[in-house]
Structure 1
Amino acid sequence: MRAAFALIFLLLPISASAATVEPQIDFHVSAAFDELHAGDYTVLTLLVENEAKLSSFPIDQNSSQILAILTTAKDARVELQDCYPISVENVNPQIIGDLPSGRVASVNFRVKVDENALAGEYSVPVEISFTKVSLSVIGSNYFISYTPDQKVTEYVKIKIDRKDYDFDAKVISGSLKAGREGKIDVIIENTGKNELDDAVAILNVSSPIIPNPDAISSYIGNLAPGEKISASFKVFVSDKALNQSYPASIILKFSAGSQQAAISKQIGLEIEKDSMLSILKVESYLTPSKTVQSQTTQSMPSSVSPLLSGLIQTQQSSQIVTINSRGAVIVEFESFENLQDAVAILSFENPLLQPENSPYIGKIDKGEKKTVIFYVKSLAPAGSYR
């Protein structure tokens, strides 16, 4: 869509019956600081310069003002494309407004660098949208036209390099169950440029995971770049823990030259709610309650007339009666643990179903299978219940 309006430029030295003057608008894009690291979550600042050109346009005191208008990229917007190894985490595109020729605008993007990005140089596309200004000469009339949604794609170069000191931590095994002590095995790799000297790995956890003071740290020693080593830790897990992953971190303390340093990496610890039993089979022998109509007959002396006082008068009444149903639920299960004084308890979400017993089982050995019978009173209609 082109919008135009007429302007009269006195003494503007363009003589043609019909002509259009359009600039060639190009951009140069560079990064203020182009070195990033794998796993970085940082701000990438782009410098955008308008390199617009206009050829065969006479310059004098009368035309300089219109030249500045024609070479301005109006309503400019900059979009940094998601492209390996980076992804953009904030508002995209960013608005920089009108950008005259020769001017530089800075735009900030918060980016996340892929944690597995390989070292090297990358070209990331940058799309710049703007409105272009044109000048049309028709006879003695001059028109300024605006053409929106012009797009130019440039490429910014970034470098991915390793940090001087860095490491990676991955959980390779860990059997953590609610209410028990568990062991965690972690592989630690030196992913930095320099050796990690006299390193110690420390596991940092929070509730519902409780550290074991005797096995919360592991001495690593010297770790060369690219070298891997395993470390083990022990923790206690609260019986209130849920079946989910809980955040934790590995803190690596080491010597960096003559100074002590520390780096932290986040890991996730999976917790499983321990189950002592497995239900193998459930059989239900329940019938719905029944509703019947009950009739009652009453006899009484007649009170209509003294002459009929010797007669007996009868009266019938009816009411709705619900008859309870009784049945049984048979459950077969297998135990995963050795249990003592076990008692089986059945409960229903619907209060119209009421268990009448809680069978005592006593001792159960690990791997043993048992069958229990629950007697149930039911006032519930036909249906499926939990």
Structure 2
Amino acid sequence: MKELRRIELKRLIRCLAIVLMLTLPLAAGSELAAGGAEFMPLRSTVENYWDVTGSPKLDASVVGTNEFNRGDKAILRVALSNIGTITAFEPDEKPEDEKEKKLADFEFTLEKAKTVAFPITGELHSLSEYITVQSGRQVMEALPSGQRSKDPMEFAIEVDNDAPEGQYPLALVVFYAYQENAGVGASDVDSLLGLQGFRQNAAFGVKIESINLTVAVKSKADFQAVDVDSHLNAGQEGGVIKVTYRNTGKESAKDALARISLFMPFSSADDQASLGTLEPGDEKTATFKLDVDEEAIAGNYSINTEVKYTDLKGNSIISETISFPVNVGPAKRSYLGMALLAVIL
């Protein structure tokens, strides 16, 4: 399943590259560099005085917690950082006069924008069947090199109710444009007014990156009702049921309190019982007393129960609801009533 998801993700990245190159709007006086990192020649009306090596590179981190419980629906907040750098400035064409020197200086400034990513689109993908991403694409404005996004991207996720504890991989696919190269030109230079007929041109590239993230499903105490001892009859008052609970999780449950939820034909003023502390694998039995309606139909019933406990961090936790079976027999005959009927007859 995980390998299949990775193959689907690779296909998605290829498709996004094609879509981005076809749909990205061009800035005024610019050309789009197909293929991203490959150099595209500038227009013949400008000169290129510098060859610059470098580009944006994005990293991502989760803001706040990435730990969740089974069944959680939550917002995962992801901040982006641009860690791209310029590694080299190399002369491409030597300026020969005052005009070209000024143009070279101006282009040098323009080339520093090479590491800016803009605009950034992010898609979060789960590589596990236990984590579902419910949000679509998120868009962020330009992010210069050395900066971290002020507002994180927000993705709605859902953790499966049956997710085992552990780490689950996510892939954040980001795609964006960046300046691949810059060129400048001018018709003349004036000692007072500077460059005359100035023009500039830029070629742009596109990049797609896949950044690994993880979310964790917390370990917690889990419970099962492993044994039930009950003898109930219709019309019975104060009937006793004994339920044995086992901590099937990997965490201690302190000050555990078992509670039952009753519906017709059951009722009780004694619907909770203390279990104390249960270490993983421990079992303890709780006793409850309940009344059975006199009109109850004999047969099998199900009673819901949950355990409230304190975890290792001191948090009060309520377990997932589980159920256990009980059988209700027919109403017992009243021997006193039968004796009175015999006397009358």
Question: TM-score interval w.r.t. the shorter chain?
Answer: 0.5 to 0.7
Quick one: structure 1 residues 227 and 116, their matched pair in 2 at CA, closer, same or farther if it must change by over 3 Å? farther
Output aligned runs, 1:169-248, within 5 Å.
Answer: 169-170=223-224, 187-189=245-247, 191=249, 193-197=251-255, 199-204=256-261, 211-214=267-270, 216-229=271-284
Q: CA deviation at 1:213?
A: 2.6
For these two proteins, the number of residue pairs brought into alignment is 255
Quick one: structure 1 residues 169 and 209, their matched pair in 2 at CA, closer, same or farther if it must change by over 3 Å? farther
| Alpha-carbon distance in 2 for matches of 1:208, 1:22 | 76
For residue 46 of structure 1, the aligned residue among 78, 93, 102 is 78
Q: Give the RMSD, CA atoms, in angstroms.
A: 5.1
For residue 135 of structure 2, the aligned residue among 91, 107, 118 is 91
| Alpha-carbon distance in 1 for matches of 2:221, 2:311 | 14
Higher RCO (Cα < 8 Å, 6 or more apart)? 2
Q: Is the 8 A contact 1:249 1:264 kept in 2?
A: no
Question: CA-to-partner distance for each residue in 1:86-133, whole Å, 9 max, x for gaps?
Answer: 624542332222222222122333433445555555543221122333
- The reply to whether residue 14 of structure 1 matches residue 70 of structure 2 is no
Structure 1 residue matching 2:321: 3-state secondary structure = strand
Structure 1 residue matching 2:88: 3-state secondary structure = coil
- The reply to whether residue 79 of structure 1 matches residue 113 of structure 2 is no
User: In structure 2, what is the equivalent of residue 367 of structure 1?
Assistant: none
| Alpha-carbon distance in 2 for matches of 1:247, 1:143 | 74
Output aligned runs, 1:92-107, within 5 Å.
Answer: 92-105=136-149, 106-107=152-153
Question: CA-to-partner distance for each residue in 1:204-235, whole Å, 9 max, x for gaps?
Answer: 45x66754334x22332331134345657677
User: In structure 2, what is the equivalent of residue 167 of structure 1?
Assistant: 221
Quick one: structure 1 residues 268 and 119, their matched pair in 2 at CA, closer, same or farther if it must change by over 3 Å? closer
| Alpha-carbon distance in 2 for matches of 1:152, 1:255 | 40
Task: Provide the TM-score with structure 1 as the length reference.
Answer: 0.48
Output aligned runs, 1:256-271, within 5 Å.
Answer: 262-267=316-321
| Alpha-carbon distance in 1 for matches of 2:111, 2:137 | 28
Which ranges of structure 1 fall in alignment gaps of 5 or more residues?
275-336, 339-386
- The reply to whether residue 32 of structure 1 matches residue 60 of structure 2 is no
Question: CA-to-partner distance for each residue in 1:251-273, whole Å, 9 max, x for gaps?
Answer: 4256989x8x74323426699xx
For residue 202 of structure 2, the aligned residue among 144, 148, 166 is 144
Q: Percent identity?
A: 15
Structure 1 residue matching 2:319: 3-state secondary structure = strand
| Alpha-carbon distance in 1 for matches of 2:81, 2:286 | 51
Quick one: structure 1 residues 38 and 253, their matched pair in 2 at CA, closer, same or farther if it must change by over 3 Å? closer
Quick one: structure 1 residues 6 and 89, their matched pair in 2 at CA, closer, same or farther if it must change by over 3 Å? closer
Larger Rg: 1
Structure 2 residue matching 1:78: 3-state secondary structure = strand
Task: Provide the TM-score with structure 2 as the length reference.
Answer: 0.53
| Alpha-carbon distance in 2 for matches of 1:62, 1:190 | 69
Q: Is the 8 A contact 2:120 2:174 kept in 1?
A: yes
Output aligned runs, 1:279-318, within 5 Å.
Answer: none
Greater helix fraction, Structure 1 or Structure 2: 2
Query: Given residue 6 of structure 1, which amino acid in structure 2 is its aligned partner?
Result: G
Structure 2 residue matching 1:56: 3-state secondary structure = strand
